[in-house]
Amino acid sequence: MKKLFTTLSNIWKIEELRVRILYTLLILLVYRIGSFVVLPGVDHNSLQDQQAKDGLLGLLNMFAGGSFSRASIFALGVMPYISASIVVQLLGIAVPYFQKMQKEGESGQKKINQITRYLTIGITALQAIGYIKSQVAPEARLIAEPWFTISSVIILTAGTMFVMWMGEKITDKGIGNGISILIMVGIIAQLPYGIGAEFLSRQNGQGGLIAFFIEFVALFGVVIFTVLIIQGTRKVPVQYAKKIVGNKQYGGVRQYIPLKLNAAGVMPIIFAQAIMFIPSTIGQFFPNAQSPLLASFSDYTSFVYNITFAILIVLFTFFYTAITINPNQMADDMKKNGGFIPGIKPGKATSDFIDGIISKITFPGSVFLAIVAILPAFAIIAGVNSQFARFYGGTSLLILVAVVLDTLQQVESHLLMRHYDGLMKTGRLKGRTSPVATGSEATI
């Protein structure tokens, strides 16, 4: 306990870190206040209370921190921005124009970000129309049509763009990845409701407090398993050549490149979830196009939904790992710094060796990720309340664990740079990059 208070004191002593944390908390406060601001012209008392409690709409409501069911100005959250990011990254694979921009460095990335923002506006406007049509009942509208729809679409679009801006500001001036933190805060905001619903369910005779306790023990086990997936690494040894300058010797020590079991982090889950929202969106715009297959994709406990969801996670894990880790660049960086993998020739042989390791560890990592993602369906089958089951593995738990660990690693890096002890007893979180890593090595 003394160690914890000492670490917290050290965090507060670092001015830059203190300012970043306070800035992040301020942005999150604005975000949470905005989630309770109802759209103009909507009678909150007439909203359908059960409209976004179950199914994919319930999941979207959780990501938005309850804004979806409250008809808030932030009702659509950041999901349109994530959908736009998926489209742009897919275009980067298939369209030469986008491939060229990706190779232009910082200037090209600015152009891609601008295109992503414009695409976000279009996607948000379309989703806003579907949201108003399906989630805001006619009796809850206090403004005549078409002015209600026009004003609501504009406000919802502006709300999503403002949330996107807040996420970018957290990334730039705060601590952690802004978009991920906003999603995490929305999920945490729904956790008390889930626990309360499950507690009342068990109190009403469905297993009692013993079953409630067993569920928490099982949840603890799932959290540990999730941490192992996210923090698991394959250490690749790297030997640096000795250099003698004057009377001093430099290099000659062995370091390692920590290749993560799940290098893509939580992004495959978010991407796959965004794709799974498409069938329900189609159903909102074209009610006559409903079919048993389309309905099964809207039920997150169905066999078809979970199999498709798991396959998408595996595919997106490979896809995102491929675009974030460049074995060729890692091999070139090692060669420039006089480093080599023992028993492997520098250059292409090193690149192929690293690529082979990444391919071998990514597959089991993606499968484990998919298993955790579909656990809520099994929890519901076992009798767990659907509101609490979303935290029993699945997207919510993966996002929570991944974002918390990523944020803690950033805090720890600030502490270690100023020669303070880290957040763990050993002074470093498992899987943290080596201090000597350069280039692509530092991004793993």
Task: Give the per-residue pLDDT at 5.
Answer: 63
Question: Which residue, 114, 79, 121, 78, is CA-closest to 98?
Answer: 114
Query: How does pLDDT run across 244-289, given as a tens digit for each residue?
Result: 666 665 555 677 888 888 887 777 877 787 787 777 667 666 666 6
- Give the whole-angstrom CA distance, residue 165 versus residue 30: 12
Query: Is the distance from CB of 390 to CB of 194 less than 8 angstroms?
Result: yes
State the DSSP H helix or E strand holding residue 256, giving kind and residue range, or none if neither.
strand 254-260
Paired with 239 in beta bridges are: 254, 340
Q: Which stretches within 138-207 are classed as H helix?
A: 147-173, 178-203
Query: Is the distance from CB of 372 to CB of 394 less than 8 angstroms?
Result: yes
Pairs from 169-176 (Cβ < 8 Å, separation ≥ 24): 169/23, 169/27, 170/23, 170/24, 170/27, 173/20, 173/23, 174/20, 174/21, 174/23, 174/24, 174/27, 175/17, 175/20, 175/21, 175/24, 175/407, 175/410, 175/411, 176/24, 176/403, 176/406, 176/407, 176/410
Structure tokens at 2: 């003394």
pLDDT tens for each residue of the chain, 444 residues long: 565 566 667 777 778 888 888 999 999 999 999 888 888 888 777 665 444 455 566 667 777 777 887 888 998 888 888 888 888 887 877 788 888 887 777 888 888 889 999 999 999 998 888 888 877 777 778 888 888 889 999 999 999 999 999 998 998 888 888 888 888 888 888 888 878 878 887 777 666 778 788 888 888 888 888 888 888 888 888 887 766 666 665 555 677 888 888 887 777 877 787 787 777 667 666 666 666 766 777 677 778 888 888 898 898 888 888 877 888 888 888 888 777 888 888 888 888 888 888 888 888 888 888 888 888 888 877 777 777 777 776 677 878 888 888 888 888 877 777 665 555 554 445 544 433 333 333 332
- Give the whole-angstrom CA distance, residue 110 versus residue 171: 15
- Give the whole-angstrom CA distance, residue 227 versus residue 396: 14
- Yes or no: is domain 201-444 CATH 1.10.3370.10? yes
SS3 of residue 430 by DSSP:
coil
Query: How does pLDDT run across 309-323, given as a tens digit for each residue?
Result: 889 889 888 888 887
Task: Give the per-residue pLDDT at 57.
Answer: 67
Structure tokens at 355: 């690529």
> Do 201-444 and 1-174 fall under one CATH topology?
yes
Q: Is the peptide bond before 146 cis (omega within 30 degrees of 0)?
A: yes
The residues, any chain, with a CB within 8 Å of residue 66's CB and separated by 6 or more, are 35, 72, 186, 189, 190
The residues, any chain, with a CB within 8 Å of residue 173's CB and separated by 6 or more, are 20, 23
Task: Give the per-residue pLDDT at 163.
Answer: 92
Query: Is the distance from CB of 183 to CB of 399 less than 8 angstroms?
Result: yes
Question: Which residue, 122, 130, 187, is CA-closest to 157?
Answer: 122
Question: Which residue, 269, 264, 242, is CA-closest to 253?
Answer: 242
Task: Give the per-residue pLDDT at 102.
Answer: 77
- Give the whole-angstrom CA distance, residue 267 versus residue 78: 13
State the DSSP H helix or E strand holding residue 236, giving kind and residue range, or none if neither.
strand 233-240
CATH code that applies to domain 1-174: 1.10.3370.10
- The residue assigned the tokens 């010797």 is 249
State the DSSP H helix or E strand holding residue 259, giving kind and residue range, or none if neither.
strand 254-260
Domain boundaries, the chain: 1-174, 201-444
CA atoms within 13 A on the CB side of 362: 22
- Give the whole-angstrom CA distance, residue 166 versus residue 160: 10
Read off φ and ψ for residue 137, nearest 5 degrees.
-65, 150
Task: Give the per-residue pLDDT at 217.
Answer: 86
Query: Is the distance from CB of 24 to CB of 175 less than 8 angstroms?
Result: yes
- The residue assigned the tokens 């990011």 is 85
